[in-house]
Each structure stands twice: as structure tokens, then as C-alpha cells.
A and B are shown apart, each in its own frame.
Chain A
Amino acid sequence: MTNLELQKEAVKVRKGIIDGVHAAKAGHPGGSLSAAEVFTYLYFEEMNIDPKDPKKPDRDRFVLSKGHTAPGLYAALANRGYFPVEDLLTLRHIGSHLQGHPCIQHTPGVDASSGSLGQGISVAVGMALSAKLSNEDYRVYTLLGDGEIQEGQVWEASMFAGSHHLDNLCVIVDNNNLQIDGTIEEVNSPYPITDKFAAFNFHVIAVEDGNDFDQLRAAFAEARETKGMPTAIVMKTVKGKGVSYMENAVGWHGKAPNDEEYAIAVEELKKAEEALCQK
């Protein structure tokens, strides 16, 4: 896909996030929006997957370790064709297959149940190890929040991945710099993030703008070529990206827009889409 095509898909993913969270009257828009590009890139460009065969044994796997940003994952899956885009409006509703946090038993295309922070990366490590044990060549991707890496289990998993040379594993850290109680520095700074993963024997790629497809493309290509060690892509992003009043605003971590705010977001995304169509 061209960057322009990917950008258009990312706008659709953003729309899906806003629609879903607004319909649910709850959810986590900020960290879903900051990762809209990476969700889009993984599902539309990077991963070997087939929406018609979600359980294809040789598929690449994705574990959303920062499971609260499920609205972003769901929007990517829906737009990629795993299930109807209209389903996004059932997010968090009784009986919906779109649970507040991802679950493999409910949603087509979800590879791991996650949402309790720090646990998803271990599951991803297990999947990568499994491929190594049986000489399969699928790759495993997992997305973590920068606040999430305060969890000790993240470093247990990282130590294991580095120690076992899991070069089929790509850990992505969404460094939007905000968590619930404030900036990650104010709360309990995990910086320097890149040095930490390097110390755990990862090949580390620092992405200056994780909302830019050129930079994501280059990073994932480099990860794919890296042999003998896992890769950590630490990407700086803007929390709430694409909806002006949510950008870099700590309050939009886990809050749904009201009708008025929703209308503004929809209008902004419509303009973004129109601008892309004129390119």
C-alpha cells in the first residue's frame, strides 16, 4: 500500500475508535488514537494475515499488550475485513463480541486476551518461542504502552526474549508520554526506554514520529531483517492524535466524548479524509 492509502485507512481507524467509544459511552480513545498508524500499518501492510481465515496457522500474530486500546485494534480489524465496521458501534455493549479489552474467544482476528497490563508481552514471547520450537517462520508483534512498562513482568518477558534470541518477536512501545495520573515522568519515569531494551539484549529502533508511515515502514523493515535478537521499536507518538482537543491531553486516556465533542471529532476526521482525497 502507498503511504496515502495507509493514511486514508488510518483516518478510518480513527473514525472507528471515536464511533465505538462514543457509542459505548466509555473506553480509551487517547492511546487508541496514538497507535492508529501502527494498528493500520500492521494489519494493512506488515503482517501475513488473512481476514477470511483468522486462525490460519502460519499467520503472523499480534498481541495488544496495552489491551485498553482495544477500540483501535477493533477498528483496524473491522476495516481490514474481519467483521463488519458497523459492529464497532456495539463496543462494550451487553452481548457484543467487542469486549472492553480483547478476548480471543469473542472477536475474530484477536490472537490473545489482554488488558491486564504487563501480561500481553509474555504471551507474545510464548508465541515467538513456539515458532522457534517447531521451526515455523511466523512473526509475533506486541504493542505496549509506555506507562505499561512500569510493570515488572514486562522486564521478565524482555529478559527471556533477549536471552532466547527471539528474533521473530517485535515489541513496540507506544511512547505517547501520558498515563492516567499524569506524564510518565511525573508518575514513575521509565526513561530511558531505548537503553533499557538495549540492556535486555534487544535490537532497538527509536522512531521519532510513530504517527508517520515512512518512519514506521523503515522501522518494521529493519526489525524484519534483524537476526539473533528481538527488536524493540520505541516510537514517539501523540496521545489522542487526530482529534484536536484530545491531543496530548491526559484527561482523554479513558473517557468517551459527549455528543457535542463527538460531532467535533467526526468533523475533524472528515476534513482530514477530504484533505487526503485531494492529494
Chain B
Amino acid sequence: MSEVKKIATRDSYGNALASLGREHENLVVLDADLAAATKTGIFKKEFPERHIDCGIAEANMIGIAAGLASTGKVPFCSSFAMFAAGRTFEQIRNSVGYPHLNVKIGATHAGISVGEDGATHQCNEDIALMRTIPGMTIINPSDDIEAKAAVKAAYEMEGPVYLRFGRLAVPVINDRDDYKFEIGKGVVLKEGTDLTLIATGLEVAESLAAAEKLEAEGISVEVINMHTIKPLDVDLVVRSAAKTGKVVTVEEHSIIGGLGSAVAEVIAEKQPAKLLRIGVEDRFGESGPALKLLEKYELDAAGIYKKVKAFL
């Protein structure tokens, strides 16, 4: 593969907030002592009065966001996914989800690609948690361009949104003129007839690379970028599953409760097909460089290729 530009989606998050902040007075950014890491510091530099550092108190941060939203502000709460979704699950459920308040949660450092910090900080369960909250929208963008578009779309829609970003710099794959982001609409990046690869987040780029190898062997692969996990693009899943009869989901998240489960539900109920879920198995992560971890957990292109070959 030729050298491509790589940007971590957490950077996209910070930049998108700053850019939206220039247009919208009611946008407020909250953080929990991680402004440098979540990149909300970019927003803070420009709009210090609208950047509220809640300190190391995530539960309270979510409640404050609920109060801000109920009085007309559009708060973006920021922390690592582990704390943004894990520690504050019940606050999000009861203070934000139940009253369906216009709170956006920007969760960075999701998945094992957090790297060296290890299992305590590698959240592979956030999508599963957020999926169960009625009315929650969940977006897991694949690159810089999509992440920025997602932040804008989240601002523009009314209601709670969970945005998932990564720490690791990932290839920019959506740099094209006809790129369009629509919440709830999966994107067919490549059409195929033998197999459907449905990927999300940083696994979209890895899946594209895996598909390239498979194609070289004469296997026709359809690659779908499923940036929105909820509401899931059910029609697209059904259509593609009907066409290929074989579906593989790829995510940097537990295979329990995330994209794989969401797709499995659709396939089981609406369009039976052979299914393989690729993701973090039912286990915790560990310390190590992000790329090495993705390799070890077989979540890189080579791992995906290997698993798909065994599946076919």
C-alpha cells in the first residue's frame, strides 16, 4: 500500500469542536481532566469560557451536561470511552437517555488500540453498553473526515449521541469528492458477490486492505463501512446478506454486544446468512504498542484475511 495520511480521530474530534464552536454559540465542551488527550484542548484554546473542565468526576460531568442541555446548550462531554461510557453508564441512562436530552458524548481512546495503558483503559464494551439505552445514537467513525462529519451531524441532530474515537492515528480513507455522511446510513465502499465485510471505526481501513488480498485470490468482497451502529442500517445489511449469503463483521470492540451482535440480530431475524464476528474475543486487553496489539488480536488486515479464509 502506498503511504497514506494518518490522523487519530480524537484529533478530528477536537478540531471539529473548534470549527463548530465558531458557528454555534450554544455549543459547550465538557472534559474530565483529559483535555490534552481527548483533544478538547483545541476548543479550549479558542473558547476558554465555553470549555468546562469538570475535573476527575465523570458522573457529575454527565449530570452537568444534562442540566446544560435542558437549558438550551449543546454540551459535548469528553473522556476516555472507559469512563465516558463505562463509569457513567447509569448517569447516561437516567439523566440523559430517559429524558432524551440533547447531550453528545465524545468518547476517545476506545478499543485496544489505546495501547500501552493496558486493559484498565482499553474499553471494548462501550458500544454494547450504549446500544441498550433507548433513543441513543452511536457513531463510530472510520477516519478523520468521517469523524469531523460525525461531530457536525451529531450537533445538528436533536437527542443523545455517543461518538467513538480512537487514540491511534489511522489512514484517511474518505478523502473523495462524493463523500457524504448521513447518520444511520452505511456506506458500500466496494461491491462484491461472494462475501460481505461489514466494518466499523478503524477496522474499515483494515477490512479494505484484507479485501484487496482476498480479491487478488478471486474472491469478490463487498465492503461496508458501518459508521452508525445505532440506528443500524438494517436495509443495507439485509440487502448485502441476501446477495452474498456470507457476512463477516469487523470491529475493535468485544464481539459481544457491538456491531457483530447488532448485525447478528438482523441476520437471524430477517435474512439468514453465514456469519462470522471478528472483534475482541471475550477477554481483556493488555499493554503494548497499538499496532502490535491489533496484530496479536488479529484485528489488522492480515488477521482479518486469515479469519475470513478459514470461514469461507
A: residues with CB less than 8 A from B are 57, 61, 63, 103-105, 111-116, 118-131, 133-134, 140, 152-153, 156-157, 159-160, 163
Contacts and interface: CB of A to CB of B under 8 A. Distances in A.
Interface of B: 28, 49-50, 52, 54-55, 57, 59-60, 62-73, 75, 90-91, 94-95, 98-100
A157 B63 contact: yes
A126 B68 contact: yes
A116 B94 contact: yes
Given A112-B67, A160-B64, A129 B52 contact: yes
Most chain B CB within a 10 A radius of its CB, from A105, A124, A126, A153:
A126
A113 B70 CA distance: 10
A122 B64 contact: yes
B65 to A, nearest CB: 6
Given A104-B99, A113-B94, A130-B73, A119 B67 contact: no
- For the complex of A and B, the 5 pairs showing the least CB-CB separation, nearest first, are A126-B67, A122-B63, A156-B60, A126-B64, A156-B57
Given A104-B99, A116-B90, A159-B55, A133 B50 contact: yes
A126 B100 contact: no
B52 to A, nearest CB: 7
Contact of A128 (B55, B67, B75, B99): B67
A123 B57 contact: no
Nearest to B54: A160
Contacts of B75: 126
A112 to B, nearest CB: 6
Contact of A119 (B69, B70, B73, B91): B91
28 contacts: A61-B71, A63-B67, A103-B98, A105-B99, A112-B70, A119-B91, A120-B63, A122-B59, A122-B63, A122-B95, A123-B66, A124-B67, A125-B63, A125-B67, A126-B71, A127-B70, A129-B68, A130-B72, A131-B71, A134-B73, A140-B67, A152-B59, A153-B59, A153-B60, A156-B60, A160-B55, A160-B57, A160-B60
A140 B64 CA distance: 13
Contacts of B71: 61, 126-127, 130-131
A123 B59 contact: no
Given A113-B99, A133-B28, A160-B57, A121 B52 contact: no
Nearest to A122: B63
A165 to B, nearest CB: 13
B261 to A, nearest CB: 26
A160 B55 CA distance: 8
Contact of A159 (B57, B72, B91): B57
A126 B103 CA distance: 12
Contacts of A163: 55
Given A105-B99, A123-B95, 17 more contacts: A104-B99, A116-B95, A119-B59, A122-B62, A122-B63, A123-B63, A123-B70, A125-B64, A126-B67, A126-B69, A127-B71, A128-B67, A130-B71, A133-B68, A156-B57, A159-B57, A160-B55
B98 A130 contact: no
Contact of B66 (A103, A122, A160): A122
A121 B63 contact: yes
Contacts of A111: 70
A125 B60 contact: yes
A129 B64 contact: yes
A122 B65 CA distance: 9
Contacts of A152: 59
Nearest to A106: B99
Contacts of A160: 54-55, 57, 60, 64
A122 B67 contact: yes
Nearest to A112: B70
A156 B91 CA distance: 13
A120 to B, nearest CB: 8
Most chain B CB within a 10 A radius of its CB, from A114, A120, A140, A156:
A156
Contact of B98 (A57, A113, A131, A156): A113
Contacts of A61: 71
A115 B52 contact: no
A104 to B, nearest CB: 5
Nearest to A125: B64
Contact of A157 (B60, B69, B99): B60
A29 B135 CA distance: 32
